[in-house]
Amino acid sequence: MVHHFHLPIKIKVSLKNYSTNSNIIIDSYLSLSLMDLKGTSGVVPLRKMLLVVTLCAIFSVSLSKVNDTTNDQILNSKPAAPSKSPDYTFHFAIQGNVYPLGCYTVKVAIGNPPKLYDLDIDSGSDLTWVQSKPCKSCIPSSQYYAYNPNNNIPCNDPLCVALNKNCRPSTGPCKYTLEYADDESSSGVLVRDLISFRLDNGSILHPPLGFGSGADQKPSNHHHFSHTKTAGVFGLGHGKTSILSQLSSLGYIRNVFGHCLSSKGGGRLFLGNDKTSKSLVWTSILKSPSSIIDHYRAGPVDLLFNGKQQAVKGVEVIFDSGSTYTYLNQKVYKALFDLMNNDLGKKLQRANLDHTLPICWKGQNLFGYFKNIVLNFSKTNSQFILTPQSYLIVSELHNTCLGILDGSEEGLGDINIIGDISLQDKLVVYDNEKMKIGWSPDNCASPPS
């Protein structure tokens, strides 16, 4: 069972716009629609918020072939005239599921010539990193970035300053260490290399961007964790080191992204201009004090069970696609579970021998016994509705398990995390320019309109 959450411990420093001597290349190819990705349904883990390392499951060969035609176009694209436009939108097909894989990933083409890497999409952390060779300690994987010291980012580069302001000497390589709340860590050096992006007009852009070349990864020893392989993390936080922020500061896209995670497996991701015709419900992103790590934090939220019974009032939540499950602090979790348990009464039997998640009930056709949970954002009068499908999974033992967990048992303290299980079947858009998050129900298994 995989319970990963990505809440990383990181140093936050301001980052100025930087220039580069590397050429930007745009290539054209036939515009292809995203393919419908279907995987098995189920449950998986959450990650700890402090810039956490995502060591998610890598998919089977059959899943890795999804969207092969588009990937071949990226890998074989030919140079064309460089161009910039804040109106660009970059598209990715998503693979993965909540259970049994425990994460959602995208294939990212890095290097020249480009090579594809499966990266865990993570709105809960900033820095993108890829396992590299030579490697001191890596999670076994078939995908490793070939580290080249010529690509090193020096300590005096603004991107390095944003991550490690104590880096010395000024012209030396920028070393980083990311430590996560579940005792995971990733260490290496920052490098700058070409990363390929598919545009909505069918072209491909190859800007040089900074990311981590990870040479030393330490997996979690937490008893809830059983991480399998992935090549690394695709950080989508709003910190200065994220790929999203870099692309925006270089003038290629708006500082906006959105994801649509399908409960059937797969989905879609876009970076840049939100051209969806969907009517979204919005709430504000809260600004964090300088001493607090930036996350997509929103509130205050009133938590309602069955749309009317108030569990708690005035809490804050973090939207984190790097967390498989939803985590609530001890007080909020207890209040919600007590209402749920009282409503169920003696209708269901606990499956105490099923350890997929902390709480499971016997039987797999039980969703009809459970009620909607509503997150009411009182200042904006916005409601984020969790149907039973947004917080329950069916285990491999054919039992129904609760995908809302007590974060205090995972060492998450007082925070509340809205993870993948509750983000499923919704288009969720993160607008860092207007500092707001929007959502709408969506068939995430289908290509965008």
Active site residues: 122, 320
Q: Which of 353, 380, 365 is nearest to 435 (CA)?
A: 380
Cα-Cα end-to-end distance for the chain: 35
CB atoms within 10 A of CB 341: 11
Q: Is 381 left (phi over 0), alpha (psi -120 to 50) or beta?
A: left
Instruction: Please name the residue that has the structure tokens 């969506």.
Output: 442
| φ and ψ of 28, to 5 deg | -110, 145
Six token digits for residue 434? 């207007």
CB within 8 Å of 449: residues ≥ 6 apart: 276, 277
Contact of 30 with 63, CB cutoff 8 Å = no
Six token digits for residue 440? 């709408």
As a whole number of angstroms, the distance between CA 247 and CA 253 comes to 6
DSSP string, 222-253: -TT------SEEEE-SSSTTSHHHHHHHTTSB
Contact of 213 with 191, CB cutoff 8 Å = yes
CB atoms within 10 A of CB 346: 5
As a whole number of angstroms, the distance between CA 143 and CA 165 comes to 30
Six token digits for residue 298? 């929103």
Calculate the CA 49 to chain-centre distance: 11
Burial of residue 436 (number of CB atoms within 10 Å: 0-12, 13-18, 19+) = middle
Six token digits for residue 404? 């809302």
Residue 214's DSSP bridge partners are 131, 188
Give the three-state DSSP class for 75.
Answer: helix
Give the three-state DSSP class for 78.
Answer: coil
As a whole number of angstroms, the distance between CA 336 and CA 359 comes to 14
